[in-house]
Structure 1
Amino acid sequence: MKLGFHVGYWGSGPTPGALEAVLKAEELGFDSVWTAEAYGSDAFTPLAWYGSSTSRIRLGTNIVQMAARTPTATAMSALTLDHLSGGRMVLGLGASGPQVVEGWYGQPYPKPLARTREYVDIVRQVIAREAPVTLDGQHFQLPLKGGTGLGKPLKPTVHPLRKEIPILLAAEGPKNVALSAEIGDGWLPLFFSPKSNAFYKAALEEGFAREGARRTFDTFEVPCSIPVIVHDDVEEAASWIKPSLALYIGGMGAKSVNFHHDVFARLGYEDVADKVQELYLAGRKDEATAAIPTSLVEDTSLIGPAAKIRDELQAWEETVVTQLLLRGDAATLTKIADALG
């Protein structure tokens, strides 16, 4: 199983030591480095910065939020970065959720699957540069209907370095996971667990079976972001992860629509997820964190002594996951790489 490095998105400012960690990841032979965005730092700018200091490691977005840019603007960024990096760009896209899409970007959220399908179609047309880009879709029209009536089909002035750039879709629900297998080159899971492998494998198989599907399991990527903490005390290691889980389960989304909550409910922690959400939305964040059992952390992470982590890694190697995306500073990446052996 390959290893990658997930820098993620910034907190209140640039991530300390990020470039040093990226350089260490390349030195260690990691396959890829990934950036993200929510409603602060963007994904493309840091990725270009890291790419300028590296020569081999693949450069991925995990993820670019589709509502943040028109599909042609996203394609322009991917096309540009692919040239500057010598063909190392991997485009990870995601729909995000209604709170961010409508609250931050001011874009409509309904029908995210249909919107994703049209979005990816346009991005691929731009990158291929085989003809002027056109689409008469429900969510996107190129040229735009109405307006001045002067719009005309265009194709990018820049010739692509590669006719295809890998497009991976972030997804948590079964319909979206199936869509990633149908129209994508890979799937970017979040809060994956070996215990949920059968559920997601079935969703992917459904997508692969659809007419026009691009890939099979043999050529499909599944880079999975996973917390790995090498530490003798499992409980202490879990305590470092629980606050983030409480945020996602309890606060990343509305009570009625929180896809992260649903992931853990499907994993068998519905009562826990409900309690965490109730406490978090009531402002009782410490209690929400304390309500998360260590078993939940262990199901979705690799924590504890190196020997324990190596033993548990076997279960991950038997799943659909093709690459583990690690987090941490340069020293942490070295320590984890040694532990994974």
Structure 2
Amino acid sequence: MKLGLQLGYWGRGPIDEAPALIAAAEQAGFDAVFTAESWGSDAFTPLAWWGSATSRVRLGTAVAQIAARPPTSVAMSALTVDHLSGGRHILGLGVSGPQVVEGWYGQPFAKPLARTREYVQVIRDVLAREAPVTNAGPHYPLPYPSDAPGATGLGKSLKPITHPVRPDLPIWLGAEGPKNIALTGEIADGWLAIYYTPRLAPQYEEWLAEGLSRPGARRTREEFEVAATVQVVVTDDVRATLNEYKPATALYVGGMGAKEVNFHAEVYRRMGYGDAVDEIGALFREGRKDEAVAAVPDEMVRETMIVGTADEVRAEIKRWEAAGVSMLMVTARTVDLVRELGTLV
């Protein structure tokens, strides 16, 4: 089992303690450090800035949003970070949701799986640097079609000036649904899992196996990485810890997506919490956020986190590893906690 430090995206400003946290993580034996983006700070700039002070940990985006950049642009960012870090970059990508994609980026959300497949292929073609990059589309045609609106017909196929450090730079995908997880197994090198629960590991493995068995799949299961975002808390007061994390659960289930499409809510439905999801979502949308938090069952929080005494936490980490998880992506906002987590693996 490996550890990844998830710094996430910023709130109203930068994470002041990030340099100290990253230094502690590298010293404590963490394998990787990750940044994220929503509709504020971007994922690549902080990663490069803070990562410049590191020498060993891998540096990943978890996740960079596909709608934010054309695939050739994100390929440029990835090969740049990989050069600057000496080949330590992990490119983590995700589709986000329709509210962000259409509301913030002004891009269509339809056919997210097809878009992801095409997006990743263009990135791999850029990094391979075998020929000028072309793509028939329909989502990311290269060159831009001469008969498309606004086209000059002068578009030229190009290959990157800069030679990538690693043509096979690892691409991990954030995925929550069965079809997306299967696609991840087929075209990616790792899965960024959110709200993972070992209880459903056989189901996850079945979905991954479908993709890993497809013709042209990149990895075997032994080579494929599963990085699960999880809160790890050493405490004697489990109930207080669960109450502390219920607001975040209520926010993602009730507020991070539309009523019609909320991928986080669907994850919990597949876990068997459909009635709770309906109640939390209804309360949240009515502005009754305190009641939404109170409606979150203890077990709904507990089974997607690792909490208990040090011995209990170590036993749980072994259970997650046995379930197929190769990395725990943890959130820590103090140096002492980073160091403590480093002793548990």
TM-score range normalised by the length of the shorter chain: over 0.9
1:276 aligns with 2:280: yes
1:167 aligns with 2:167: no
> Partners in 2 of 1:190 and 1:266 — Cα distance?
13
Could you say what secondary structure the match of 1:87 adopts?
A: coil
Q: CA deviation at 1:225?
A: 1.0
Question: After TM superposition, where is structure 1 displaced by more than 6 Å over at least 4 residues in a row?
Answer: none
Could you say what secondary structure the match of 1:201 adopts?
A: helix
> Partners in 2 of 1:24 and 1:288 — Cα distance?
36
Q: Which residue of 2 aligns with 1:155?
A: 159
* Unpaired stretches in structure 2, ≥5 consecutive residues: none
Whichever residue aligns with residue 154 of structure 2, its letter is L
Q: CA deviation at 1:309?
A: 1.5
> Partners in 1 of 2:263 and 2:164 — Cα distance?
36
Give CA deviations for 1:279-298 in whole Å, capped at 9, x if unaligned: 11111111111111211111
Give CA deviations for 1:76-112 in whole Å, capped at 9, x if unaligned: 0001111011000100000010000000000000000
Q: CA deviation at 1:5?
A: 0.7
- 1:28-43 matched pairs, under 5 angstroms: 28-43=28-43
> Partners in 1 of 2:72 and 2:166 — Cα distance?
17
Q: CA deviation at 1:304?
A: 2.3
CA contact (8 A) 1:191 1:263 kept: yes
- 1:10-29 matched pairs, under 5 angstroms: 10-29=10-29
Higher mean displacement: 40-49 or 302-311: 302-311
Say how many residue pairs are matched: 340
Q: CA deviation at 1:73?
A: 0.5
Fraction of identical pairs, as percent: 55
Whichever residue aligns with residue 320 of structure 1, its letter is G
Give CA deviations for 1:312-336 in whole Å, capped at 9, x if unaligned: 2232121121100111121111122
> Partners in 2 of 1:91 and 1:245 — Cα distance?
26
1:237 aligns with 2:247: no
Give CA deviations for 1:149-204 in whole Å, capped at 9, x if unaligned: 10010011111111221001110000000000000011111100001111111000
Could you say what secondary structure the match of 1:318 adopts?
A: helix
Q: Which residue of 1 aligns with 2:193?
A: 189
> Partners in 2 of 1:159 and 1:336 — Cα distance?
38
CA contact (8 A) 1:326 1:333 kept: no
> Partners in 2 of 1:217 and 1:175 — Cα distance?
17
Q: TM-score, normalised by structure 2?
A: 0.97
Higher mean displacement: 230-239 or 79-88: 230-239
Q: TM-score, normalised by structure 1?
A: 0.98
Could you say what secondary structure the match of 1:206 adopts?
A: helix
Q: Which residue of 1 aligns with 2:300?
A: 296
CA contact (8 A) 2:236 2:308 kept: yes
Q: Which residue of 1 aligns with 2:4?
A: 4
Give CA deviations for 1:223-272 in whole Å, capped at 9, x if unaligned: 11101111211011112211111110110101110010010111111111
Q: Which residue of 2 aligns with 1:134?
A: 134
Q: Which residue of 2 aligns with 1:315?
A: 319
Q: Which residue of 1 aligns with 2:210?
A: 206
- 1:79-158 matched pairs, under 5 angstroms: 79-146=79-146, 147-158=151-162
